[in-house]
Structure 1
Amino acid sequence: MKAEIDFQQQILPGLCLITAPLLFCISTFFWVDGQYGVTAATLICLSTVFWIPALYGLFGLLKHNMPFYSAIGLLIAIYGCCMGGIGFGMLGYLSTIFKISHHNYLGVLQQYPISSGLLLFWAGPLFPLSLLVLAINLVRKKAVPVWLGLLVGLAAVAFPVSRILRILLLAHVADVLLLLPLMIIGIGFVKRRKVADL
């Protein structure tokens, strides 16, 4: 029973804290002219499966000190990450295979403002915004070392900027800023170490 609890609450989230941002990192190498394309889009969509346990683990670090925020923040982060990730991933995938230009699909999406907002334009920014708020709370409650929290916060700011500007080098920097702290926290989970002591 204890082994099952350890796996569900520590080992699986820990492994996913490594896998999810790593898939983000790898996907950027497959951008095509600043767009996701087929391979990058596939990796982004697949990463969302790993983001769910990863986010569960991250927000779980605050469940005793901030139970309400931990639950609501997790829900918002999952919505932003998964809906935004899959939405933009599938948009990149489908626009590539059907050869629809960026300009054309933006024009069509404007015809469906509420659906496009819910599935893409409102969901997408919630992921980095939720990470930024999470980073602040993790540092405030001393759930992680300050330097780890700062890296997560920097990644949360750099990530949307890199995706909006579509600058490849900036995207790689944002990916690494996200990967490093989450990988360290993930290794701590897997090794069952107290994250605050890393």
Structure 2
Amino acid sequence: MNNTLRAASLLLGPLLTAVATFFWEDTRHGLTASVIGLYATVAGVYGTLYLWDRLTAWKPWVGATGLVIALLGFLGGVAFSLQGVFEGLFDVSKTASLDAAAAHPAAANLVLWLPGPAYPLSLAALAIALAWSRLAPWPVWTGLLCSAVCFPLSRITRTEWIAHVADLLILAVFAALALLVLRGRLDPAPATTP
């Protein structure tokens, strides 16, 4: 049962993210996409934490480091989603939103600009850890590395077709990881010395 829930989490997070991109409004997330994105972020937590738990069993310091990066990535996802929700609710323009963030640089940096890059960084870290541990086959970790490049490229440029490609790639990779979880294939060897 737990592996079914973990696999569902690994699928649901990227699936909702992919759906949210269809609701972008003139290269902005907008209210609907932001609400869906918020729930996408929350939906993906359980499965992703399980992946890092499996890597912790392999090398504790790798799992602990990756877990911190992943949690920062989730914080960034929630923060940017909430920013979009509040921009939509209060009808705040992109310029006004950026000006408000600039007026509070410490808060903006701690909540938005520093955690924001943690999500693609967590994809890259997960790819490297899965390759190093040999817990996942090369197409999975290679796909994660490609996702780590495509995702920020799509979100920084707000290019919808790149966003759809990134979303599809992430969904495919996490579907493969979900399948590995369902089959019990992510059980690593006992922990090695750090």
Q: How much does 1:195 deviate? A: 4.5
| Residue type of the alignment partner of 2:170 | L
Distance in 2, matches of 1:182 and 1:156, equals 13
| Residue type of the alignment partner of 1:95 | E
Aligned match for 1:149, one of 127, 141, 145: 141
Q: How much does 1:193 deviate? A: 3.4
TM, length-normalised to structure 2: 0.91
Q: How much does 1:38 deviate? A: 1.3
Which position in structure 1 is the counterpart of 2:180? 188
Aligned with 2:134: secondary structure?
A: coil
The answer to whether the 8 A contact 2:7-2:47 is kept is yes
Distance in 2, matches of 1:23 and 1:148, equals 20
What whole-Å deviation, never above 9, does each CA across 1:95-135 have from its counterpart, x for those lacking one? 12222111111011011111111111101101111210210
Could you tell me which runs of 5 or more consecutive residues in structure 1 were left unpaired when the two chains were aligned: 1-5
Matched, 1:70 2:63: yes
The answer to whether the 8 A contact 1:20-1:47 is kept is yes
Identity of aligned residues (%): 33
Could you tell me which runs of 5 or more consecutive residues in structure 2 were left unpaired when the two chains were aligned: 188-194
Matched, 1:171 2:160: no
| Residue type of the alignment partner of 1:167 | T
The within-5 A match list for 1:118-133 is: 118-133=110-125
Which position in structure 1 is the counterpart of 2:5? 12
Distance in 2, matches of 1:16 and 1:57, equals 10
Which position in structure 1 is the counterpart of 2:93? 101
Aligned match for 1:40, one of 33, 36, 52: 33
Range that drifts further, 165-174 or 48-57: 48-57
Aligned match for 1:61, one of 43, 49, 54: 54
The answer to whether the 8 A contact 1:84-1:120 is kept is yes
Range that drifts further, 176-185 or 64-73: 64-73
| Residue type of the alignment partner of 1:159 | F
Distance in 2, matches of 1:166 and 1:63, equals 35
Q: How much does 1:60 deviate? A: 2.5
The answer to whether the 8 A contact 2:9-2:47 is kept is yes
Distance in 2, matches of 1:110 and 1:26, equals 30
Which position in structure 1 is the counterpart of 2:192? none
What whole-Å deviation, never above 9, does each CA across 1:141-182 have from its counterpart, x for those lacking one? 211001110001101111011000000000000001111011
Distance in 1, matches of 2:55 and 2:35, equals 32
Which position in structure 1 is the counterpart of 2:191? none
Return structure 1 stretches of 4+ with deviation > 2 angstroms.
Answer: none
Aligned with 1:14: secondary structure?
A: helix
Distance in 2, matches of 1:48 and 1:176, equals 16
Which position in structure 1 is the counterpart of 2:102? 110
